[in-house]
Amino acid sequence: MKRSLCLFMIIILLLPAGVLSAAAEGLPSIPRSQVTQLAPTGYMARRVNGFLNTWVPVSVKENPELIQAVLRANPKYAGMMPNLYSGLLMDQNTYFGQHLAGLAVCYRLNRDEMILQVGNDLVAALDKARGENGYLGVHAGNNRLGTGNNWDVWGHYNAIWGLHEWYRLTGNETALDMALDAADYCIRHFETHTYDTAVGCIRCSLGHAYALLYQETGKDAYLKEALRILEDVWPGNGNWLENAAKGMQFYQSSQPRWESLHAIMLIHTLYEITGDQQYYDAIDQIWWSIIKTDRHNNGGFTTKEIAVGNPYRSGAIETCANIAWMVSSTDYLRYSRDSYVADEIELTYYNAVLGAITENMRHVTYDNPMEGQILPSQTSLAWIYNTGCPDYNCCQGYACRGMGQVVEWASMTDEGALYLNFYGPCTLQTKTPGGQEITLRITGDYPVSGDIGIEIDGLQQPEAFDLMLRIPVWSDQTALSLNGAADLQPAAGQYSALEKCWENGDQLSLNLDMSLHYWRGGSTFRKRTSLYWGPILLTQDEYYTDLPTDEVNFTLDAVKNAAARPGDGVQQWLIVEAESDEGALIPLIDYASAGKQENSHFTTWLRISPAPEAAAFSREGMPLWAQALPE
C-alpha cells in the first residue's frame, strides 16, 4: 500500500511547474541547500557556538563606529556628527556586509533568536544611518566609490551581498530594499565613471552583486550592468573567462588575490541564469587550478593573500581567503554534484576555518599557518585599528560566514535527490525533493570515529527519492547498511545513491574507513609529510611534548598503525599518538585545536623516515592529501 502511494507521489512531486519550465528553457537543474536548522553537537558545536555566543552579542554593540561612520557620511548629518574615534579604516564599510552575510547562515545553523535580533537591529540601524540616494558607505564627495584609492566599491559589494543574504535567509525586506537602493546608486555613479577608478583587485566585484539582484528581481538594468563588467572590465582585470578557456591557472591571472573569487562569482550566477556552458567550464577550470597549486595542506587558500602557484610556500594563509574559498566551492559543489568538492570544503572547514577561532572565543586569526603559531587577527593586523570598532578587521568581519557556511553544503536538495555531505553529530532539518520537511538525526562522533548513524524523521508521509550519501575520497573500505540489512560497500570518492520510499524510522549505518593517509610535501617541505585522520590534519604542537618540533622524528612503521582517540573535547578534538624514533610517545592533535595554548608552536609537516612516496597531481587520481600509507 505504502509503495503504491509512494509511486503516485513521485509522479506528482517530481514534476513541479518550475522544474518543467526550467527544463524547457534548457537551464541546468542545480541543487541548493534547503537546510533550515543544523543544530550540531559535540566538539564542533562547542567551538562554533562558543564563538557565536561570545562574539555576536557584542559585535555591533561594542563597535559603534560600524554605524557611526555611515552616519557621518550622510550629508543630512554633516557637521552634526563629530568623529569620536581614531582613523577611518581602509575597508571600514565591508565589515557590516560581511558580518550580515555571516549572521544569515549562522541563524540557519541553530535558529538562535539572539542572532536574528542582532542582524535585524543592524539592518534597522544602517537603514536609519544610510545616505541619500541609497549610498551605503563611509565617504563623502569625490571619495565615493573609489575615486581616491579607497575600498568603497568593495564595501558596496559586501554590503549588497550581505544584505541580500540576510533577506534570502531571514526574509527581512528592508535588507533587500537597501541592497537594491545601493546597487541603483552604484549603477548611476558608474554611468559617468569608469570602474577602473576603483582599486584594482576589487574593480570587478560589483558584477556578482548586480547578477544576484537580477536573479532576485528580473530587472534588466542589473543584468546589463553585470554584463558591462564582464565584457568591459574583466578583460583588463583578471580576464578569468578567457584565461580559463585557454587552460591558464588561476595564479597566472593579473588579479590572483583572494577577493577575485567574489568577482568570479559573477559567472557562477550567470551560469545559474543562462545555463551557458562556457561559464561552467571556466568555473570548473578555475576550481581545479586552485586545487592543483594554491590549496594548502590545512585546506587554506592563498599565500600572503595571493595565489602563488605553490601550496608549500610559507606566508600568511588568511581567514578571509579560506572563507571565500569555501563559499565559492559550495557553488561548484552544487553545479558539479561531485562529492569530492564536498571533501575539499570539509577539509577547509574542519582545519583552517575552525582553527581560526582563538582561545578567547571572541576573535579569529588572520593567519592559519602550516607551521608556527596561532595569533588573533587583532594582533597580526594591529595596523587596522579604530577605537570605535576595536574588534574589527576584514577577518573578524567575515568570521561568522566561515562558521555558518556549513548550512550551505551540509545537505542540498534538487528535484529528485537529497544530498548529504555533513556527518558530524547533529539534528539536520531540511526539505525533501517533494518539498516536505525532513529531519536527519546524525549520531556518532565523526570525525573522531567513522561510525555514523542516520535516522529519518519528521516526514508527514513516506516519499520516494534518491538519498545521496557522500563517500569521502579517502574512505577506502566503507560499509553501509539500511535498517540493519542490505549491506553495501559503496565506492570512495562519489555519492552512494539509495533509491527508496523513505519513511520515519528508517535507519542507516555508515562506517567510514579512517585509516591514516598522507601528503608528502614538496618544495620547502619536500622531506616532510602531513598525516590525516579522515578529514583532520594532524599537528605536532610543542605545548603537548615539551620538545621542539624539529627535534622529533618518526619512523614510518610507528605511524602506520596509529589510531585516533577522542581528545578532551575542549582543548583537543582528537589525538593520535605515535612513538618517536627515540621512544617518546608523541600526541598529534587535530589542526583546529593546535597552537591555542600559550606559546605553543606547531608544525603540520612531520619528519617521517623513510618518507612515503611523493605523488604527482592528477585530477583523475587520488588527491595529494589522501595517499594511502604503504602496507
Binding residues for Zn ion (CB under 5 A): 318, 320, 394-395
Cα–Cα distance for residue pair 603/414, rounded to 1 Å: 41
Min CB(321)–Zn ion separation in Å: 7
Min CB(55)–Zn ion separation in Å: 15
Are 332 and 339 within 8 A, CB to CB? Answer: no
Min CB(320)–Zn ion separation in Å: 3
Indicate the residue among 302 and 529 with the shorter CB distance to Zn ion: 302
Cα–Cα distance for residue pair 469/456, rounded to 1 Å: 13
Indicate the residue among 152 and 367 with the shorter CB distance to Zn ion: 367
Q: Are strands 411-413 and 529-533 parallel, antiparallel or unpaired?
A: unpaired
Indicate the residue among 395 and 469 with the shorter CB distance to Zn ion: 395
In sequence order, the β-bridge partners of residue 430 are 438
Indicate the residue among 66 and 223 with the shorter CB distance to Zn ion: 66
270 HSE (CA, 13 A, CB side): 27
Min CB(90)–Zn ion separation in Å: 12
Cα–Cα distance for residue pair 219/235, rounded to 1 Å: 25
Min CB(275)–Zn ion separation in Å: 34
Min CB(260)–Zn ion separation in Å: 14
**CA atoms 282, 285, 291, 294: torsion sign:** negative
> Residue 27 class from Cβ within 10 Å (0-12 exposed, 13-18 middle, 19+ buried)?
middle
According to DSSP, residue 348 is labeled: I
Are 221 and 227 within 8 A, CB to CB? Answer: no
Show the cell assigned to 584: 617518546
Show the cell assigned to 458: 519528521
Segment (H or E) for 50 = helix 42-59
Rounding to the nearest 10 degrees, give the CA dihedral for residues 581, 587, 592, 593.
-140
Min CB(126)–Zn ion separation in Å: 21
Min CB(571)–Zn ion separation in Å: 26
Q: Which ranges of 312-419 would DSSP assign to H, the alpha helix?
A: 319-336, 339-347, 377-380, 394-404, 406-409
Indicate the residue among 302 and 496 with the shorter CB distance to Zn ion: 302
Indicate the residue among 181 and 318 with the shorter CB distance to Zn ion: 318
For the chain, what's the residue count? Answer: 631
Indicate the residue among 301 and 519 with the shorter CB distance to Zn ion: 301
Indicate the residue among 318 and 408 with the shorter CB distance to Zn ion: 318
